Amino acid sequence: MKQFNELGLAEPILRALTDQKYTEPTPIQTQVIPAMLDGHDIVGIAQTGTGKTAAFVLPILNYLAQEGGRPAPKTCRSLIVAPTRELAVQIADNVRKYSKHMRISCTVVMGGVKPGPQIKGLSRGVDILVATPGRLLDHMSTGALNLSSTGIVILDEADQMLDMGFIPAIRKIMAKVPKDRQTALLSATMPKPIRALAADFLTDPVEISVAPTATPIELIEQKVMAVAMADKRHVLTKLIVEDDSVDRAIVFTRTKHGADRVTKHLVQAGLKAEAIHGNKSQNQRQRTLNGFKEGKVQILVATDVAARGIDIPDVSHVFNFELPNVPESYVHRIGRTARAGKSGVAISLCAPDEKPLLRDIERTIGKSFGLPGMDAPRQRKPNGGGGRPQNKPHRGKPGFKGNGGGKRSSEGSGRSGRGGQRRAA
Ligand code: AMP
């Protein structure tokens, strides 16, 4: 395994990594960092928990360290687009950690908060701009920001952007960035529209995927309980109250109202629970999230959209109050526990009318929960019948260890355009 100091990163970056006590790069970092330093575009198939943020942030910092100079007013030298506000804030936090020994500016542009301070920040010019698509377009249309000198663009969690209907916005944004930029697209999965996006906006990308591994899902103890819808709140509360090992848990609900109702019930039972979903203000969401990270909030009740992409260490339990409509979401949800090699428990409450959803999940993960009235799952045929191709990456959280690198399926020629950077020999 290569060490950080063998990847070609500038000294202040290495010092910040030592401060973070990162001993060695994760597999995605080992592959993405040198390829980006060589000026390649990147398609990275990896999800949260793999260390993907540092994989693209560190090369950006290296680019800024190499280039020196300052951004022109109302421009950004690098741009990271993320689907959710929480993820944008989290990425910016990471940027600040990794750049603590450098003098660079980082601004977040996102909806749900007043635009004034963002406009002020942009007016001076920004080294690293982290943005959600809607507000970014707003600032572009009012002239608060132009992307004419943006050298690196990162599209993070591209499949989530697709789910949230952001692809047209992304295309508008990409049309305004200089052609000789460097672009990296990160996504947990590669549905067709994301492939098309990559084909349209990336040049000879190096494709890097964190290899599928059996470890993450196996580290999670998965249980399903048959519970009538009307009994779920009561059963959930009992499960949490009576089990001392429930230290920090996320409860997933399908709807925002459902999240509020469940939270109310848990609070009435004396638990420290708070909800996070799209109807909450950005400040409320961030406060809840911080409280959860700090341990002041024990139970986070969340909808899928609100929770995806967020890195919360040490979640002991994930509860699926309702089963998700899409089986992939199940894997995303339970992947919030058992992170960084730890074990975790995922408990799903399945009402009778949710059995078809459970069957889909069983088929996707290739495991039967043996719930009464359920047949054993039939494995999908490879690439058969338009289902998920079998060679797609396993989407349980790939741990840092033992997921053995990935593949580089296309080797473009290194470009030395504006965003291109070459490692010092
Ligand atoms: P991410 O997948 O970017 O959300 O990162 C998941 C977590 O891994 C974050 O808490 C990072 O701070 C942490 N992390 C990233 N890279 C490393 C590394 N090389 N060693 C240890 N922890 C890391």
Secondary structure element (H or E) that encloses residue 13, with its range: helix 11-19
Share of the chain above pLDDT 90, in %: 61
Span 242-271, mean pLDDT? 93
Residue 340 pLDDT grade (very low, low, confident, very high; cuts 50, 70, 90): low
Q: How far is the CA of 49 from the centre of ligand 1 (A)?
A: 6
Q: What is the mean pLDDT of residues 337-355?
A: 84
Q: Hey, which of 332, 400, 403 would you mutate to test ligand 1's pocket, going by the most ligand atoms within 8 Å of its Cβ?
A: 400
The most distant pair of C-alpha atoms in the chain lies apart, rounded to whole Å, by: 66
Q: Which residues have CB under 8 Å from 101's CB, separation 6+?
A: 12, 13, 15, 16
CB-count burial class (<10 Å; 0-12, 13-18, 19+) for 306: buried
Domains contained in the chain, CATH given: 4-209 (3.40.50.300), 220-382 (3.40.50.300)
Going by C-beta distance under 8 Å and a sequence separation of 6 or more, which residues neighbour residue 90?
Answer: 53, 309, 310, 311
Instruction: Using the predicted structure, report yes or no on whether residue 378 has a pLDDT greater than 90.
Output: no
Give the residue, by CA position, lying nearest to ligand 1 atom 9. 51
Tell me the CA distances in angstroms from 316 to 127, 189, 313, one per residue in order.
37, 26, 9
| 68-72, 78-82, 360-364, 378-382: range with lowest mean pLDDT | 378-382
Place of tokens 């929770």: 307
pLDDT in tens, 282-308: 788 888 989 998 889 999 999 887 676
Would the CB of 51 count as within 6 Å of ligand 1?
yes
Residue 206 has pLDDT above 60, yes or no: yes
Specify the pTM.
0.69
pLDDT at 424 over 60: no
pLDDT average, residue stretch 2-28: 93
pLDDT at 16: 98
Task: Tell me what pLDDT residue 365 has.
Answer: 81
pLDDT tens figures, 85-129: 989 999 999 999 999 999 999 999 999 899 999 999 999 999 999
With H, G, I as helix, E, B as strand and everything else as coil, classify residue 403: coil
Atom of ligand 1 nearest to the CA of 26: 19
pLDDT of residue 342: 66
Strands (E), 52-120: 76-81, 106-109
- CA–CA separation, 359 and 363 (whole Å): 6
Using DSSP, state whether 183 is helix, strand or coil: strand
How many Cα atoms within 13 Å fall on the side-chain side of residue 215? 18
Contacts of 271 (CB under 8 A, 6+ apart): 237, 240, 241, 298, 299
Residues ≥6 apart with Cβ < 8 Å to 413: 204
Residue ID of nearest Cα to ligand 1 atom 16:
51
* Pocket residue to mutate for ligand 1, from 22, 48, 401, most atoms within 8 A of Cβ: 22
Q: What pLDDT shows up at residue 284?
A: 85
Name the pLDDT band for 279 (thresholds 50, 70, 90): confident
pLDDT at 131 over 90: yes
Dump the DSSP string for 204-269: SPEEEEPPP-SHHHHHEEEEEEE--GGGHHHHHHHHHHH-TT--SEEEE-SSHHHHHHHHHHHHHT
Tokens read off for 332:
């995303």
Q: Which pLDDT does position 209 carry in this prediction? A: 87
Protein residue with least CA distance to atom 14, ligand 1: 51
Average pLDDT, the chain: 85
CA 284 to centroid of ligand 1, rounded, Å: 25
Residue 348: name the closest of 240, 258, 224 by CA.
224
Ligand 1 contact, 50 CB (< 6 A): yes
pLDDT higher than threshold 80 for residue 386: no
CA of 51 to the centre of ligand 1 (A): 4
The CB of 48 under 6 Å from ligand 1? The reply is yes
Least confident interval from 67-76, 334-343, 379-388: 379-388
DSSP annotation of 14 reads: H
Task: Count CB neighbours of 350 within 10 A.
Answer: 21
pLDDT at 217: 66
User: What angle do the packed helices 52-67 and 85-98 form, to 10 degrees?
Assistant: 50
Question: What's the 55 CA to ligand 1 centre distance in angstroms?
Answer: 9
Three-class SS of residue 319?
A: strand
